[in-house]
Structure 1
């Protein structure tokens, strides 16, 4: 997504020179969110972007892996590519589970198609990780008649992404969907027909899928002069420029400074890839606008649309709009009275309005904000 948006942005921004879009997969650029939904369900076999690359004069170099970077030259497994300007958008790669080297991952369309072939009624599927991918895949697998157990090392689903009490609310969704959920124990090892948990429990398993996060795909940049943080993300400035001349970066592989949050952010979600790819192209063409959007992502799980915007880490106040016991509800986080983050379950209007309010740093009337019958924008002072 980030690389495709950068190429589109350059053409639409008036760049008339050569553009090459390089990717190590054999496929044309495609969308990833449907992989854990429609592709697994068999409703689609591909999610290729409907973009006429030939008409745009963008050269697609599929099945080409970047190996190293030197000033003005990208080294690939298909030879050297000289460049005047370069956008690195190599994304992230799923973290494997050390004790289960043969377990499946879900990142590419080929991963999704291979897993789909195995999801049949009665198949015992164990998912390591109760994050977004774990919940979405569990949802689909149950629809396909699989016996599903999700194993989470943390105390509740979405540990690290959301406060534990909210994750605990979502634990009930697993049970209602007929999905087993075991928290407080991780997968220690996989063996034929079973997985062994860190507490000694042995769970029967015909298939094992690992969804314990992803890491920036930046190992190939060693010695390039492009600076990485401790997690491997590319350090860029507010214009998405790296420290190497003529090199920008976008998408899941970057860490950018957010004036809004007061910290560097590394975001691995679709909306960030979309926006940062476009912003990198604009920066290459001379635009001077800093990149600092309101982070946003969504997940479809257990018949619910879950959406999140902003960043709650620095919040000092929590407001509930409706009860988590109800079919739809929203949680708001404030910092010194200003809205900084929101989580909504089946309340898309709340989330859409929250994104705009977070963007302008709106201070909320707490009583109005807590009333789900009042439009959120009406609570802004």
Structure 2
């Protein structure tokens, strides 16, 4: 392994480089990124950048010590593998880049509505440039319409309302986060919008977008100085078409428990992957910061000779309308849900497979998350009656 090329200069790409160097790899490493910026942190984009607390979320890295060749502002356009041997070339608009081992870490791209990308005043939020452009539109008195009441939609609504904007959120489903959580759990988020002064329209489908307005399928017209589309992301893997690297139906790179793709010498980490989980006996697609932090370290160890599988318990968080929301675990549809109600609107939802606690969602209950995370990781059997009693410490609910 003389020449490692990492494609994708985000969290997962940088952590791959850091992992290789920290574990003693002294060979050539190149980091290829589509954006002109050095690797930066994405979670603060919808919080600190939109609120104006900061304009720069660049990671603090010692680039001289890392001795990495930075190839920024050069999107990957194709992949050519060598016949009957490891290695190949990643094509870019500035010419091909050769590699012996390749790590794909290109993350995700924001989905936009059909034809909306050509309409003035329409924003998505995925990059630092997206956040800076949107921030200029969040001015007091502006009418902001957000399409999608998912994680990003709620965080942008939080920032827009704090900036003094008249904010409307349009959601096609019956509850916020209904695509990610059961509707009865998502419904618990609904009152937060009204409390914050945000108009939430549920079961509202967008018919079309024009400059200055969003038209709904029921004929309503919503005036808008700024329109934000927050309907999700897709793996940024179009450049792999025809390469021989196996992608699933959503375009995610299919990897095994060692983060190996179907092509020899080619690996993948982060949002762009669907990985094999022995823990959950399925493949997982995890689009969150913690996965982009942890998976590259496991991959670096594997590249340098260790044979440990990557099989995490997923974790993510969101800040919505002044509340910290945290989730840990993985729950298939049909698992039992038990609620745990705390004071002042705080609560925890637990998903159970039999008596085993398999997932946990907490709202402003950090101690529940800290103690419950250990129970989820170990698959502990939990007394559901004690779980439902918020006065019982989570660690004391074990049978």
Unaligned segments of structure 1, at least 5 residues: none
SS in 2 for 1:79: coil
Give unmatched runs, 5+ long, in structure 2.
1-10, 82-86
1:318–1:333 contact (8 Å) kept in structure 2: yes
- Establish whether residue 47 from structure 1 lines up as the match of residue 57 from structure 2: yes
Report deviation, 1:99: 4.8
Structure 2 match to 1:351: 369
Within 2, Cα distance between the matches of 1:192 and 1:255?
37
The match for 1:38 is 48
Q: Show structure 1 runs of 4+ deviating over 6 A.
A: none
Structure 2 residue matching 1:290: 3-state secondary structure: coil
1:99–1:188 contact (8 Å) kept in structure 2: no
How far 1:59 sits from its partner (Å)? 1.7
Find out whether 1:59 has 2:69 as its counterpart: yes
Query: How far, CA to CA, are the matches of 2:100 and 2:116 in structure 1?
Result: 43
CA distance in 2, matches of 1:95, 1:42: 25
3-state DSSP of counterpart to 1:260: coil
Is the counterpart of residue 95 in structure 1 residue 95 in structure 2?
Answer: no
Give 1:73-222 correspondences, 5 Å limit.
Answer: 73-101=89-117, 102=119, 103-222=122-241
2:395 corresponds to which residue? 377
Task: Give the C-alpha shift of residue 169 in structure 1.
Answer: 1.3
Task: Give 1:314 deviation, angstroms.
Answer: 4.5
1:368–1:374 Cα contact (<8 Å) kept: yes
How many residue pairs align between the two structures?
380
Query: 2:36 aligns to what?
Result: 26
Task: Tell me the distance in 1 between the aligned counterparts of 2:333 and 2:169.
Answer: 30
Q: How far did residue 327 of structure 1 move? A: 2.3
TM-score where L is the length of structure 1 = 0.97
How far does residue 186 in structure 1 lie from its aligned partner after superposition?
Answer: 2.0
Deviations 1:297-342 (A, max 9, x none): 100010100001111225532111116x842111111101101100
- Residue 366 in 1 paired to residue 376 in 2? no
SS at match of 2:74: coil
The 3-state SS of whatever aligns with 2:139 is coil
Cα contact 1:316–1:335 (8 A) shared by 2: yes
User: How far apart in 2 are the matches of 1:349 and 1:21?
Assistant: 39
Partner of residue 340, structure 1: 358
Pair 1:3-2:19 in alignment:
no
What does the per-residue CA deviation read over 1:179-210, in whole Å, with 9 as the maximum and x for residues that have no partner? 00001012221123211012221111111000
SS at match of 1:75: strand
Q: Secondary structure at the match of 2:385?
A: helix
SS in 1 for 2:362: strand
> Which of 209, 220, 226 is the matching residue for 2:245?
226
Question: Using the alignment, how far apart are the partners of 2:368 and 2:38 within structure 1?
Answer: 36
2:116 aligns to what SS in structure 1?
coil
TM-score after normalising by structure 2: 0.93
